[in-house]
Amino acid sequence: MKCFVTGAAGFVGSHLCRRLLAEGAEVVGIDSFTDYYPRPVKDARVATLAGKPGFTLVEGDVLTADLDALAAGSDFIFHQAAQAGVRASWGQTFDIYTNNNVLATQRMLECARRVKPKKFVYASSSSVYGEGRERPTKENDPKVPLSPYGVTKLAGEHLCHLYEHNFGVPTISLRYFTVYGPLGRPDMSIWKFTLAMLRGEELAVYGDGEQSRGFTYVADVVEANVLAARSKLSDTAFNVGGASTVTVNQLIRQIERILGKKARVRHEPPAQGDARHTEADMTRTRKLLGLTARTPLSKGLPPSIQSIRDFYGL
Ligand SMILES: NC(=O)c1ccc[n+]([C@@H]2O[C@H](COP(=O)([O-])OP(=O)(O)OC[C@H]3O[C@@H](n4cnc5c(N)ncnc54)[C@H](O)[C@@H]3O)[C@@H](O)[C@H]2O)c1
């Protein structure tokens, strides 16, 4: 089995590569090591993969690399590469989002047209829903993104549909809800809060901290990717949400308990583009993809925090 993984040095991509390699797959990964957050975090992830039999990592940009050569013979393509982050997607940096999320997805789908994988799995996002009509949110609820980032992720889903409909590329979009886990993203709340507490610094909370998120452990997201690849279904999207929906304030309490430290919180104005609450309705994913692994925050948080301590030696 050969797999092509984009965003392989990224948070989700690196965990996915590890799982595919453990299953005996040959994995070619590509990552352009964007500077959205410090490179040493990506290097640390890659270090956990380097030297594993069957793994090749190419430092390159999906927009310019010879994708056909890299993906040749792939049974499965997992397109994880993107410019993540809701708040940075306003203003002058929007072109980074259109390039890395819309154009890069179109390039990958053009490549898939020629390579003909058994499945093209696209990492989408809960941000396609915006505020969501209902909570928990179902796949067929309205897609009204609140941020430019959400607009680009939804555009990627539409492109997947177009390439399946017109050229027979079998695609599945997975709408991830706030993913966390070991060597996660330094721009996300768990990393930022943990680091601030370890350093005895103030941590910034947007708004009153009563906004909530459905936290999804990365191993469950990886499992969803594997199940989507194997599934006979295509031309569809699934929620990938976690077992724990907690407010930002509750999250801080949990981190305090694990670290045995008290947070010093500074409140900042609510961030534009952030949904107040997100929570996935997982009924359809459970039934049609068979995703049962659900890691609660109480199990997923300790190893996530430990990886941050290890990374900084704190
Ligand atoms: N982490 C989450 O909570 C979350 C939630 C919803 C959706 N997602 C989606 O999941 C995917 C993975 O997210 P992540 O959290 O691992 O982010 P990440 O930033 O850690 O990983 C993305 C990787 O893609 C790479 N990349 C970006 N543009 C590229 C390009 N043009 N060519 C090659 N590489 C490129 C980056 O260098 C980065 O290493 C993304 O598509 C993201 O939109 C993540």
As separate numbers, helices (DSSP H) first and strands (DSSP E) second, the chain gives: 11, 12
Instruction: Spell out the per-residue pLDDT of the chain, length 314, in tens.
Output: 999 999 999 999 999 999 999 999 999 999 999 999 999 999 999 999 999 999 999 999 999 999 999 999 999 999 999 999 998 999 999 999 999 999 999 999 999 999 999 999 999 999 999 987 788 999 999 999 999 999 999 999 999 999 999 999 999 999 999 999 999 999 999 999 999 999 999 999 999 999 999 999 999 999 999 999 999 999 999 999 988 899 999 999 999 999 999 999 999 999 888 889 999 999 999 999 999 868 999 999 999 999 999 999 99
Backbone torsions φ then ψ of 75, nearest 5 degrees: -80, -35
The ranges assigned to domains in the chain are 2-180+216-242+280-294
**DSSP letter string, 130-158:** TT-SSSSBPTTS----SSHHHHHHHHHHH
- List Cβ neighbours of 44 (8 Å cut-off, separation of 6 or more): 183, 311
DSSP assignment of 91-119, as one string?
Answer: GGGHHHHIIIIIIHHHHHHHHHHHH--SE
- The residues lining ligand 1, judged by C-beta closer than 6 Å to any ligand atom, are 6-7, 9-13, 30-34, 36, 42, 61-63, 80-84, 100, 104, 123, 125, 153, 176, 178-179, 185
Q: Which of 97, 122, 129, 149 is catalytic?
A: 149
Please identify, in words, the CATH class of the domain defined by 2-180+216-242+280-294. alpha beta
Ligand 1 mean position, distance from CA 10 (Å): 6
CB 270 within 8 A of CB 238: no
Q: Any idea what the Cα angle at residue 275 is, between residues 284 and 303, rounded to 5°?
A: 70
Best probe residue, ligand 1, of 28, 95, 101, 125 (max atoms within 8 Å of C-beta): 125
Distance 34 CA to ligand 1 centre (A): 10
Which of 4, 5, 6, 12 is the pocket-test mutation for ligand 1 (most atoms within 8 Å of CB)?
Answer: 12
206 has catalytic annotation: no
